[in-house]
Amino acid sequence: MAIETTTDNAVKAAPTPKPSRRATLAWPIARRALTGLVTLWCISVIVFVATQAMPGDVAHIILGPGGTADQVAQLNKNLGLDQPLVSQYWDWLTSVLTGDMGNSLVSGQPVSELLSERIFNSATLTVMAMVLILPLSLLVGLLAAVFRDRFLDRTYLGTSLIVTATPDFVLGSLVIALFGTVVFKVLPPVSLLPPGDEPWQHPRQLVMPLAVMTLVGVTYLSRLVRVSFIDVLESEYVQLAIIKGLSMRRILFRHALPNALAPSIPAASIMAAYTIAGSVVIEYLFAYPGIGSALVDAVAGHDLPMIQAIIMLMAAAFFCFNQLADVLGTLNKSR
Amino acid sequence: MIRTRPTEQGDQAPPSNLTRRVLTSRQTRLGLIMLMAMILFAVIGPFLTPHSPTAIIAKPYASPGDGLLLGADSLGRDIVSRILSGGINLTWMGLAATALGVTLGTTIGLVAAFAGGIVETLLMRVVDVLLTFPTIIMAILFISMVGPSRPILVILVAIGLTPGMARVMRGAARPVMRREHVMWARTIGLPSRHILMREVLPSVTSPLMVEIGLRLMWSVVGLASLSFLGFGVQPPASDWGLMVSENKDGLAIQPLAVLIPAACVALFTIGGNLFAEGAARVIARTEGTRK
């Protein structure tokens, strides 16, 4: 959906007679960067307002119903909640920008320290999933397009309709039941990693979360690949190549692939963005020590600085991938 | 396009009524039947429970027997009763969130397309900002602060649905604004509300119908996922998403306590998607792919 916005920019940029390509692209990208900064700022305000500016509740939430008035006042002072909102926001923003996210209220350790390993674990999982998703989506999308409206394609469309509609936690539970506990007991049902270990030291633990992420990602992306392949296969030059009697393999890989690939690249970026949001459910389901499961723990423990840091981080990453998709879309259109 | 007389619609002349036309597709009918069946199941279920869904009446994960058709869950409660009573909250909250989100989004989209200029730019900028915030993250953020009350959940999910809805409806309404009947209504100075409700809204019912199906699917997915994470309906109340997370540690002993509620959620959302995609296909076929 995020690609829609780029259309306006691309159209505006197009009619200028023969400007250098770089100049045409510089403006939309600069504008995008600027609106991007404003949006990120808006996000920071939303996170701040939602967490700290809520009328007087934070200390109560942290202390629970047993907190006395003295404790509440003391905590408010420690958290800086007795200061005016604007200066609270300013302090918070400057420390976040300098990488200081405060200390966890549960363990007392700096949030940035607690999160660094979690971020690394989540990033590893996401990158591995993307490495699997991209080639698989291409292959599946291509096969479905070539066998369009035949048995293979219909089966694929039906399956993808079902997978798209099924929540991640349902898919995950099914996979665990199938391979972890009930039918075949071949894989560990939870993906706990010993602290300090790299995720790839435990490949068996990663199989099931990766499988679910890949399944969800491939069904989304391959549908777009299929549609863009069908468009290309119906285009005149491919039709001409078929009439000329070129081999199907040559047509597909030399002529159709590069053209069908272009629209899929921004989509891949959008998908990476959604993977971040989806990771909360997947990580919680498999008890994988990433930032998604850290968020669930932080909310359960009313760990305010952790909640703020994780949500800012996720929103920023989600946003960056969306912006990347937009920019790639613009580049694509202006080509 | 719905007002056009059948004679103007070419050779095939599909039924002029949108609902009937959409229901010609087998896929749409199947989706609608699944949706209706799940809603009915969720509504009637609580009256059919053999035991109280919150009463602890057996050992944890007790096997079937002793009047318990499927055995007991992680705390020793009757699984059948919990499944039967676990859909009603999801159903009403999903329907309410969809209705609220669709109404809000359609209003914003239509007003933006109608007003144009600075109002449109401003509204769409706000929509853009909201779109950069994944629904589930935003919901978790606010729930962590104000607690998981059910009306709040409905509102949060509805807000999550609104921006996407506003974008689609603005896109659908923009070409309608240039049609003769709308221009005529504007020229003779009919009130804006009247134009939007009587002239514009009837012309965008096709995308609206598809979107309602899709958004219903998304709101149920979102609510069930939140409930699975522990941020939705709170224990001891019964809820399908919650049941999956409550019983997932006992998956090896009592798999049905996880799989049946999971299947219930899936049937609900798949029904919504079948309906939406079937309707989209019929509409694309009978009206041409106008985006």
pLDDT in tens, A208-265: 889 899 999 899 888 888 888 888 888 887 888 888 887 877 777 777 777 777 777 7
Q: Which residues on chain A are in Cβ contact (under 8 Å) with B164? A: 1
Cross-chain CB nearest to B270 (options A43, A162, A274) = A162
For range B145-151, the mean pLDDT: 83
Q: Which residues on chain A are in Cβ contact (under 8 Å) with B225? A: 167-169, 281
User: Residue B95 pLDDT more than 90?
Assistant: yes
Q: Output B208 or B59, whichever has higher pLDDT.
A: B208
Looking at residue B269, its pLDDT comes to 92
Confidence band, pLDDT 50/70/90 cuts, at residue B180: confident
**Chain B residue with Cα closest to A42:** B129
Please answer yes or no on whether B225 and A300 come within 8 Å at the CB atom.
Answer: no
Q: Which residue has the tokens 């990693």?
A: A193
How far is the alpha carbon of B167 from chain A, nearest alpha carbon, in Å? 9
Chain A touched by B134 (CB under 8 Å): yes
Looking at residue B289, its pLDDT comes to 47
Size of interface A-B (CB pairs under 8 A): 142
Please answer yes or no on whether B252 and A161 come within 8 Å at the CB atom.
Answer: no
The CA distance from A182 to A194, in Å, is 25
Q: Output A10 or B185, whichever has higher pLDDT.
A: B185
Cross-chain CB nearest to A177 (options B131, B135, B259) = B259
Q: Kindly give, in sequence order, each residue whose CB lies less than 8 Å from that of residue B87, ignoring residues fewer than 6 positions away.
A: B38, B41, B42, B45, B240, B264, B268
Of all residues in chain B, the percent with pLDDT exceeding 90 is: 25
For range A296-305, the mean pLDDT: 83
The CA distance from A106 to A300, in Å, is 11
Cross-chain CB nearest to A177 (options B136, B255, B270) = B255
Confidence band, pLDDT 50/70/90 cuts, at residue A12: very low
Length of chain B: 291
Type of residue numbered B204: V
Q: Which residues on chain A are in Cβ contact (under 8 Å) with B232? A: none
3-state secondary structure A176-211: HHHHHHCCCCCCCCCCCCCCCCCHHHCHHHHHHHHH
Looking at residue B13, its pLDDT comes to 47
User: Residue B192 pLDDT more than 90?
Assistant: no
Give CA angle at B273 (B172, A261), nearest 5°: 70
Residues 28-87 of A with CB under 8 A from B: 35, 39, 42-43, 46-47, 50-51, 54, 57-58, 61
Q: Give the global pTM.
A: 0.83
Looking at residue B98, its pLDDT comes to 94
Q: Which residues on chain A are in Cβ contact (under 8 Å) with B229? A: 280-281, 284, 296
Please answer yes or no on whether A170 and B252 come within 8 Å at the CB atom.
Answer: no
Please answer yes or no on whether B248 and A176 come within 8 Å at the CB atom.
Answer: yes
Q: Which residues on chain B are in Cβ contact (under 8 Å) with A314? A: 134, 137
Please answer yes or no on whether B245 and A169 come within 8 Å at the CB atom.
Answer: yes
Q: Which residues on chain B are in Cβ contact (under 8 Å) with A172? A: none
Q: Token digits for B73? A: 């869950």
User: Residue A288 pLDDT more than 90?
Assistant: no
Burial (CB count within 10 angstroms: exposed 0-12, middle 13-18, buried 19+), residue A327: buried
User: Residue A58 pLDDT more than 80?
Assistant: no
Please answer yes or no on whether B145 and A311 come within 8 Å at the CB atom.
Answer: no
The CA distance from A4 to A40, in Å, is 20
User: Residue B118 pLDDT more than 60?
Assistant: yes
Cross-chain CB nearest to A47 (options B141, B143, B277) = B141
Q: Token digits for A327? A: 């920019």
How far is the alpha carbon of B132 from chain A, nearest alpha carbon, in Å? 5
Confidence band, pLDDT 50/70/90 cuts, at residue A66: low
Looking at residue A17, its pLDDT comes to 46
Please answer yes or no on whether A167 and B146 come within 8 Å at the CB atom.
Answer: no
For range A138-160, the mean pLDDT: 86
Residues 218-277 of B with CB under 8 A from A: 221, 224-225, 228-231, 241, 244-245, 248, 251-252, 255, 258-259, 262-263, 265-266, 269-270, 272-274, 277
Please answer yes or no on whether B225 and A319 come within 8 Å at the CB atom.
Answer: no
How far is the alpha carbon of A24 from chain B, nearest alpha carbon, in Å? 23
Find out whether A286 and A231 touch, Cβ atoms under 8 Å. Answer: no
Cross-chain CB nearest to B144 (options A165, A168, A299) = A299
For range A86-109, the mean pLDDT: 80
pLDDT tens-place string over residues B10-28: 444 455 677 788 788 888 8
If you average pLDDT over every residue of chain A, what do you get?
78
Type of residue numbered B189: G
Sign of CA dihedral A298, A300, A301, A303: positive
User: Residue A9 pLDDT more than 70?
Assistant: no
For range A118-138, the mean pLDDT: 88
Looking at residue B105, its pLDDT comes to 93
Please answer yes or no on whether B269 and A165 come within 8 Å at the CB atom.
Answer: yes
Sign of CA dihedral A324, A145, B14, B21: negative
Looking at residue A67, its pLDDT comes to 67
Please answer yes or no on whether B225 and A4 come within 8 Å at the CB atom.
Answer: no
Confidence band, pLDDT 50/70/90 cuts, at residue B92: very high
Please answer yes or no on whether B230 and A47 come within 8 Å at the CB atom.
Answer: no
Confidence band, pLDDT 50/70/90 cuts, at residue B97: very high
Segment (H or E) for A273: helix A257-286
Of all residues in chain A, the percent with pLDDT exceeding 70 is: 85
Looking at residue A1, its pLDDT comes to 32
Cβ neighbours around B122 below 10 Å, total: 12
The strand pairing partners of B77, in sequence order, are: B56
If you average pLDDT over every residue of chain B, what do you get?
84
Please answer yes or no on whether B251 and A176 come within 8 Å at the CB atom.
Answer: yes
Of the candidate ranges A37-46, B66-75, B240-249, B257-266, the one whose mean pLDDT is the lowest: B66-75
Please answer yes or no on whether A318 and B167 come within 8 Å at the CB atom.
Answer: no
Length of chain A: 335
Find out whether B12 and B213 touch, Cβ atoms under 8 Å. Answer: no
Q: Token digits for A99? A: 């990488």
User: Residue A22 pLDDT more than 90?
Assistant: no
pLDDT tens-place string over residues B66-88: 777 788 887 878 888 888 988 89
Confidence band, pLDDT 50/70/90 cuts, at residue A334: low
Find out whether B38 and B221 touch, Cβ atoms under 8 Å. Answer: no
